A and B are shown apart, each in its own frame.
Chain A
Amino acid sequence: DARVTQTPRHKVTEMGQEVTMRCQPILGHNTVFWYRQTMMQGLELLAYFRNRAPLDDSGMPKDRFSAEMPDATLATLKIQPSEPRDSAVYFCASGRDRAPPLHFGNGTRLTVT
């Protein structure tokens, strides 16, 4: 079974440190999404790429978050500097344009102390 792979699975860091989360989408998929899940806010869409181009990052705090796709096999989400309120589970999902469904990775659980 093809899977979306996210690393690391868990990350604990101190406030102010840079955090980088990585995602390997399923081969052949051309859309990539980053979601954040918290108890209070549920699932929030942070960023969306199609064919490696960012289409929508309106859900992302621009001053500290950045999302990129250096190539078709890697998507990254960076937080610099991190804050305790960034503690959440971050999910990457990939799919094919106009052909649902999305396939989700198992997430990165981030704890910022």
Chain B
Amino acid sequence: AQSVAQPEDQVNVAEGNPLTVKCTYSVSGNPYLFWYVQYPNRGLQFLLKYITGDNLVKGSYGFEAEFNKSQTSFHLKKPSALVSDSALYFCAVRDNTDKLIFGTGTRLQVFP
């Protein structure tokens, strides 16, 4: 069965510093991987996806993610964090029936 794991419940980073939110996956076949962000009292917003092609995927709001097949990882990154990036981040994998299976989420706190 397809699954993703987000090993960190919370990540703290100072504004202006680079940030990484970790995700590892377990799939049979080629992985379709996604990152979503959730702000308070809102639905999930799509950030970026990996389907095929370049291992470095660029997305919304300056975020990017690196697909690493050998490490089965898809970590979310941003070179310089903003306070407004503080939110809940979800990694997800699409199974072969189009369902999205989400990780448990990582809360990102960016401090001024």
Contact = CB atoms under 8 A, between A and B. Distances in A.
Interface string A75-101: 000000000000000010101011011
A100 B49 contact: yes
A102 interface: yes
Contacts, number: 53
A43 B104 CA distance: 7
Interface residues of B, number: 22
Max chain B Cβ within 10 angstroms of own Cβ: one of A42, A48, A98, A100: A100
Max chain B Cβ within 10 angstroms of own Cβ: one of A43, A48, A55: A43
Interface stretch (B14-22, B36-44, B65-73, B74-82): B36-44
B89 to A, nearest CB: 12
A50 B44 contact: no
B54 interface: no
Contact of A55 (B41, B90, B97): B97
Contact of B97 (A42, A56, A107): A56
A43 B51 contact: no
Max chain A Cβ within 10 angstroms of own Cβ: one of B98, B102, B104: B98
Interface of B: 32, 34, 36, 41-46, 49, 51, 90, 94, 97-105
